[in-house]
Structure 1
Amino acid sequence: MIKSLKFIIGALILSTSVFAQKSDVDKKNWVSADIFAEKIQKQQKAQIIDARSAEEFAQNHINGAVNLNPQDASFIEKLNPAQPVFVYSIANGRSVAFAKELATKGFNEVYVLDGGIGTWVGHGKALFTTAKKGLNINDFNNIVASNKLVLVDVGSKYCGSCKKVKPILESLKKEHSDALKVVEIELEESPQLIASLKRVTSFPYLILYKDGKVTFERSGIAELKGVLDTALAQAL
């Protein structure tokens, strides 16, 4: 069992290795959720850009944000280059690309939410959401308490790296259903639960529970084969 789990985890690491590679752009203005929120609060009318798709924005977004597309040249008319601009997406991909575009347009103070909306929700920050159902904290706690080993995958259906994780989770469910309970939590359905966990820093985020206690957790899973092998071997 342990050998087959190691094989699956190895495939999972390989499939998501790109997730851990950060852009080579200047990171001095990549800020945490706390700093992002603090700087926004200091603005009388903060310029917050949601760099995701219109569909994603409609389902959830940071309060006060506007959904802009850098491919639309008119976006520049909606922003003041003399004021700070705050940009976020799911992770750092689209937000960093937008920030680079703003820099070429003369915007000197642009802040990127490092870790994207995942870290924002994970830190319990205010969020507009249309979610009306999904796994709640009581049901989640019951699942964790009633299963010896629970692997929790937190992400978004729009997250490319998260999608690469799904086939591997399905393999885990089928092959190890008796030993391992897999729980998938998505932003679009259960933002309150993600916030209540108080540990998610970006998507995808994995948490391994044994006998109700967290034995391993990490945002992304690239380059963590040895750590995961050890965690699963000890848990099993």
Structure 2
Amino acid sequence: MKNSKLKNSLTALVLLFTIAGFAQDKSSNIVSLDEFYSKIKSQKNPQIIDARGADEFALNHINGAVNFNLQSENYGKYVAALDKSKPVFIYSIGAGRSVALEKELLKNGFAAAYSLEGGIANWIGNGKPFYTNSKSKLSLTEYNKIVAENNSVLVDIGSKYCGACKKVKPILETIKAQYGEKLKIVEIELEDSPQIIADLKNINIFPTLILYQKGEIIFKKEGINNLKNEVDVALN
């Protein structure tokens, strides 16, 4: 009887440690924009990593960032150039590649690594300084004019490199077919118009959808869940 109780206790203990280990493995240091920015500003020479692809990085990135991810050809060389004793600040288009890289660095002895919540969308979309090699196709003045001159305006803000953003397109086509000229649809991509996204200073993630009526925001939503239904409710 005692042996049976001991066996059950050991089994429960092993299960507890297994669950704890799994939970720890799943955790990550995803931090808010304010915390991410504050930590970077506290460092004399911050180690900032853009974990997106090279083509994405070439178009826009956080000032001072270097570009590599787990799939980079010279991954080991890039990691070796970092100081393990200092924090590393990582971002991507959202949080996928940045979290994967963050976990890998922590597993390999880095003192601290942080992933930016909302990625580059959050950084640029809230007006933080960034590099871009392109001029925005749409200015804030032009944006405000569109909103003012049209009764109903649906704005889609995203990136061609964002998987979730691609899923918005067919929904917009359905909405466009239904409402025609009654609804002005404006599509803004980071790669074409980074400055207008920065000037709006209220974009935290891609995709973000904003519906205006008579110049007023009816709703602002992050992601595409119930988008069609919410547009229908607002316009009917």
**TM-score (normalised: structure 1):** 0.83
What's 2:145 paired with? 142
Alignment RMSD (CA, Å): 1.7
Q: CA deviation at 1:178?
A: 2.1
Q: What amino acid maps onto 1:52 in structure 2?
A: R
Secondary structure of residue in 2 paired with 1:128: strand
1:124 and 2:123 equivalent?
Answer: no
Cα distance in 1 for residues equivalent to 2:231 and 2:185: 16
SS in structure 1 of the partner of residue 187 of structure 2: strand
The one of the two structures with greater contact order (alpha-carbon pairs below 8 A, sep at least 6) is: 1
Amino acid at match of 2:43: Q
Identical amino acids, percent of aligned pairs: 52
Residue among 202, 206, 220 paired with 2:205: 202
The answer to whether the 8 A contact 1:69-1:75 is kept is no
In the alignment, the residues of structure 2 paired with residue 41 and residue 228 of structure 1 have an alpha-carbon distance, to the nearest angstrom, of: 41
In structure 1, give the amino acid aligned to 2:120: I
List runs of 5+ in structure 2 lacking aligned partners. 1-24
The size of the alignment, in residue pairs, is: 209
Aligned 8 A contact 1:33 1:114 in 2: yes
> Aligned-pair distance for 1:133?
3.7
What is the aligned partner in structure 1 of residue 27 from structure 2?
26
- Structure 1 match to 2:191: 188
Once residues 141 and 38 of structure 1 are traced to their aligned partners in structure 2, the CA distance between those partners, rounded to angstroms, is: 31
Q: Distance in 2 between matches of 1:182 and 1:25?
A: 39
- String of CA shifts for 1:70-98, please: whole Å, max 9, x gaps: 23222221211100000000101111111
What CA distance in whole angstroms lies between the structure 1 residues aligned with 2:211 and 2:230? 12
The structural deviation recorded for 1:231 is: 5.7
Greater Rg over alpha carbons, structure: 2
Unaligned 5+ segments in structure 1 are 1-23
Q: Which residue of 1 aligns with 2:56?
A: 56
TM-score (norm 2): 0.83
Counterpart in the other structure of 1:86: 89
What is the aligned partner in structure 1 of residue 4 from structure 2?
none
SS of 2:124's equivalent in the other structure is helix
Residue equivalent to 1:7: none
